[in-house]
Amino acid sequence: MRGALIGCGFFAQNHLNAWQDLRAEGIELVAVCDIDAAKAKAAAEAFGIPRHYNDPAELFANEKLDFVDIATRMETHLDLVRLATSHGVRTIVQKPLAPDWETCLAIVKTAHDAGVPLAVHENFRFQTPMRHLKSVLDSGVIGKPSWGRFSFRFGFDIYKTQPYFHLEKRLVILDSGIHILDLARFFLGEVKHLSCETQQRNPKNIGEDTATMLLRHVSGAVSIVEASYESRQIPDPVLQTLITIEGERGSIKLLEDFCMVVTAGQKSTEMQVGSPLLAWTEQPWHTLQESVLKTQRAIIEAWKLGNDAETSGIDNLKTFSLVEAAYQAAESGSATTPAEGFDKSSHY
């Protein structure tokens, strides 16, 4: 599989490292591209990638690609997906797919109409602790889940590496809440309605930096989804999603430092479910970093088998519809039903 990476900025460094690890599995980046020519050149040199470009159109004109990985910010995604799919190149796009629901729909429709597979780099569900938790849940030991809490709150200075966050009108729900809403779907299924309260606790931010959401799932389960960049705690559980899921016969808790506690009947078992450290990952980011590798591998493996990725564009619309519903609910002050996703048949 011959691929290219578009966008060689802050988070793309994880993509570059992960693609390098995947070389052993027959997946190779043959080119990188960034409108900032120095960044493209630096990435190519650091990772031994043969060619670099500063114009995406030139990249597609010159390279024969099996896939492209787009790690630019959301405002650029629609144009880049149009370009990639017009060349028939399978496309991975970083989350959030786009700034709003209409643009997300346009992106998914573009790929669908071109007959080109589209996947979203929604990586939290691929984190090692999440896969452990899912296998315990699916084993049935706690019975049918009926309640959950998914909490992602810390005070680490994320504005240092992503200073543009201060100016985002939609901040924590769109940037991180989107991952946590995806986890709520992953563990408890689709959502019937949700309500949401937002807060702007850091005066430098123009968007919400704290969100508290209440979800009723189609299964009948209820969950709380929380995300905040303004939570002061020592130790700071930076980038850790803390989870409780309760079922009819027990519960699963994912606590600080990736300690999972499973209670089933009268017995409680504790285990460590953190990610191993890779050559290029470092604490405390390692679990997030490793999930980049796992997401890329899962997408490519699905495509090799001729399947849709688990986090296909169509699947990701279901997560984005929760983001959009959360903003609507926060504005209206009442529970909101998420929009219908993309119906393949009605878009022919």
Ligand X SMILES: NC(=O)c1ccc[n+]([C@@H]2O[C@H](COP(=O)([O-])OP(=O)(O)OC[C@H]3O[C@@H](n4cnc5c(N)ncnc54)[C@H](O)[C@@H]3O)[C@@H](O)[C@H]2O)c1
**Prior bond of 163 cis (ω within 30°):** no
Partners of 197 in the β-ladder:
212
- Residue in 95, 153, 286, 294 binding ligand X, rule: CB under 6 A: 95
Between 156 and 249, whose beta carbon lies closer to ligand X? 156
**What burial class does residue 284 get, using C-beta atoms within 10 Å of its C-beta: 0-12 exposed, 13-18 middle, 19+ buried?**
middle
Q: Measured between alpha carbons, how far is 332 from 322 in angstroms, rounded to an integer? A: 15
Q: With binding defined as CB under 6 A, does residue 56 bind ligand X?
A: yes
Q: With binding defined as CB under 6 A, does residue 69 bind ligand X?
A: no
Q: How far is CA 72 from the centre of its chain?
A: 14
Q: With binding defined as CB under 6 A, does residue 89 bind ligand X?
A: no
User: What is the per-residue binding string for ligand X in 104-143, x denoting contact by CB under 6 A?
Assistant: -----------------x-x--------------------
Q: Which stretch binds ligand X (CB under 6 A): 34-42, 104-112, 125-133, 183-191?
A: 34-42
| Residues binding ligand X: number (CB under 6 A) | 24
Closest approach of ligand X to the CB of residue 337, in Å:
26
Between 82 and 193, whose beta carbon lies closer to ligand X? 82
User: What is the per-residue binding string for ligand X in 196-235, x denoting contact by CB under 6 A?
Assistant: ----------------------------------------
Between 226 and 246, whose beta carbon lies closer to ligand X? 226
Q: Do residues 125 and 183 touch, judged by C-beta distance below 8 A? A: yes
- Residue in 103, 146, 162, 200 binding ligand X, rule: CB under 6 A: 162
Between 16 and 105, whose beta carbon lies closer to ligand X? 16
Closest approach of ligand X to the CB of residue 19, in Å:
15
Q: Which stretch binds ligand X (CB under 6 A): 7-15, 149-157, 194-202, 204-212?
A: 7-15
Q: Residue 29 is which amino acid?
A: L
| Residue whose tokens read 């985002």 | 168
Q: Single out the residue of 213, 244, 216 nearest to residue 227, CA to CA.
A: 213
Closest approach of ligand X to the CB of residue 179, in Å:
7
Q: How far is CA 138 from the centre of its chain?
A: 22
Between 35 and 141, whose beta carbon lies closer to ligand X? 35
Q: Which stretch binds ligand X (CB under 6 A): 19-27, 33-41, 141-149, 330-338?
A: 33-41
Torsion on CA atoms 176, 181, 183, 184, rounded to nearest 10: 150
Q: With binding defined as CB under 6 A, does residue 189 bind ligand X?
A: no
Q: Single out the residue of 150, 178, 340, 154 nearest to residue 233, CA to CA.
A: 154
Q: With binding defined as CB under 6 A, does residue 72 bind ligand X?
A: yes
C-alpha count within 13 angstroms, C-beta hemisphere, residue 306: 0
**What burial class does residue 169 get, using C-beta atoms within 10 Å of its C-beta: 0-12 exposed, 13-18 middle, 19+ buried?**
exposed
Q: Do residues 142 and 262 touch, judged by C-beta distance below 8 A? A: yes
Contacts of 5 (CB under 8 A, 6+ apart): 12, 15, 16, 19, 29, 31, 32, 33, 43, 68, 69, 71
Closest approach of ligand X to the CB of residue 322, in Å:
17
Contacts of 271 (CB under 8 A, 6+ apart): 132, 259, 260, 262
Between 70 and 114, whose beta carbon lies closer to ligand X? 70
Q: With binding defined as CB under 6 A, does residue 10 bind ligand X?
A: yes
Q: Tell me the residue nearest to ligand X as measured from the CB.
A: 9
Q: With binding defined as CB under 6 A, does residue 159 bind ligand X?
A: no
Q: Where do contacts with ligand X occur on this chain (CB under 6 A)? A: 6-12, 33-36, 39, 56, 71-74, 76, 94-95, 121, 123, 162, 288
